[in-house]
Amino acid sequence: MPPHEVVIGVDSSTQSTKAAFVDRATGRLLAVGRAAHVVTGEGGARESDPEVWWRALCEAVAAGLKESGAEARHVVGIAVAGQQHGLVVLGADGAPLRPALLWNDTRSAPQAAALTEALGGAEAWTARTGSVPVASMTASKWQWLRENEPETAAATAAVRLPHDFLTERLCGRAVTDPGDASGTCWYSTATGAYDPELLALLGLDATLLPEVAPSGAARAGGLTEEAAAALGLPAGIAVAAGTGDNMGAAVGLGLGGAGLLDHPVLSLGTSGTVFSASRTRPASPALAGFAGADGTYLPLACTLNCTLAVDKVAALLGLDRADAEPGGETVLLPYLDGERTPDLPAAAGLLTGLRHDTTARQLLGAAYEGAVVTVLRALDALLRACGLDPEDPEVAARPLRLIGGGAQGHVWVETVRRLSGRPVILPAAGELVALGAAALAASAATGEDPVALASGWETGEERQLPAVERDLATWERVGSVLERAAGPLLGGAAR
């Protein structure tokens, strides 16, 4: 028997859209519809047509509805959690003027550096926004557009983030949330509003931006007749303001800021991210001090190269991703798209330590190790920025929660265990970004707290793996190469 009420949580990521159909009362995952995206660009360019996201959303919802066994009349709410930082510019007719610049487009690195200096340095930015401009941030991309495509910038009638674009298609209202807005570098986490001085610095009129809802769970409106026809859903159902993908994952995990970094999360996806919820506003150049979707904060550090980069190395070697062995003396930093942490936007991959007896499987294992050491070093930086010593035995013993596609891979999990020396928790619930979006949708439909909803849903028992002895030799070998290479050898300068 289908459930009485269903909510849809949409995860619109870099590579695909997933639409999770969830029983509103129990959190039971009924089905996940999927549709692929297209990413284009060479060198530092990474772009997607926003219309592809909308078509993928429609396809994913149709597939999920069919698979779930529910009828359209059972659906009471929908919310989108989308890839952060992407720049969508719309014309007066509401159509995209050009493909969106994605979060992993590194062409705006010079603009990021110039913006940082223009305001007086990194600390001046973190005091306002919680974050420092890097090539990933939307403000840097807007500045790049102004300098490189001034006609497009001048014709822009609306500026949106990816999830904003989709939410507006759903409900007809230009609205965002504090979580995703905090990744733009023109929204102030200190004031909870767009920062007029930063907008002036960027030559960006506030009227081009969406309204900021109180939270991602706020009801943005009802599903429009046009969107309802495209999705095969009832018009008028609740549309939540939605949020960014990392904020959505935090909601899906039930993280609501009970304690600073008590439960650090390591997400292994296209990018590698580490984050936790906090009720204390973070402001350090070492991390992105985002807002959460529920009124808390989400200190976060992000690397650009994770599962996608390792999969590319596997493909080059003609191996399956599971064929890896420990890298031995070999070190491979898979910085194929530049890197964000450390801030090396012009970096390329680096391979060193080859021997006659080095095997292809070891090379692949070295790619895993390079990606994992990079993201674990980002975690250490995040801990230090929040006043915690990563070498403190109590801090170092805290379990890591692994999520994302990599958390489903044995080699990823075991490499994290070996290089961190920490216990690892594997949440039972899959599709955490979509699940978090579903909780936001349920909150918009009922008025209940989204984190409490997600925490109370029956998503299964999580699995905890005990700590193993830490591989300090590999940790130090990779870290040493990374530190020596963070300069001209990688084609970029750390700052």
pLDDT in tens, 87-111: 999 999 999 999 999 999 999 999 9
Fold of 257-426+461-495: Nucleotidyltransferase; domain 5 (3.30.420)
pLDDT in the model for residue 3:
56
pLDDT in the model for residue 340:
79
Active-site entry in 245, 294, 311, 380: 245
Task: Copy the structure tokens of residue 476.
Answer: 């130090």
Residue 1 pLDDT > 50, yes or no?
no
C-alpha distances out from residue 281 to 92, 426, 453, Å = 37, 28, 24
What are the residue ranges spanned by the domains of the chain? Answer: 6-246, 257-426+461-495
Mean pLDDT calculated for residue range 54-70: 96
Answer with the residue of higher pLDDT: 414 or 283: 414
pLDDT, tens digit (0-9, with 9 covering 90-100), for 40-51 = 999 899 999 999
Residue 428 pLDDT > 60, yes or no?
yes
pLDDT in the model for residue 278:
82
Mean pLDDT calculated for residue range 207-218: 97
**Is-contact 112 171, C-beta < 8 A?**
no
CA dist 79 and 40 (Å) reads 26
pLDDT in the model for residue 487:
57
Mean pLDDT calculated for residue range 165-170: 98
C-alpha distances out from residue 382 to 132, 273, 420, 433, Å = 14, 11, 15, 22
Residue 257 pLDDT > 60, yes or no?
no
Q: Is 180 a catalytic residue?
A: no
Please, what is the average pLDDT of the chain? 92
Contacts 24+ apart (CB under 8 A), 295-298: 295/178, 295/214, 295/215, 296/255, 296/256, 296/257, 297/130, 297/189, 297/257, 298/179, 298/246, 298/247, 298/250
Residue 321 pLDDT > 80, yes or no?
yes
pLDDT in the model for residue 189:
94
Those residues whose C-beta lies under 8 Å from the C-beta of residue 127, and which sit 6 or more positions away, are: 190, 283
CA dist 47 and 68 (Å) reads 32
CA dist 226 and 414 (Å) reads 48
Considering the domain 6-246 in this protein, what is its CATH number?
3.30.420.40
| Least confidently predicted of 40-54, 128-142, 275-289 | 275-289
Same fold, 6-246 and 257-426+461-495: yes
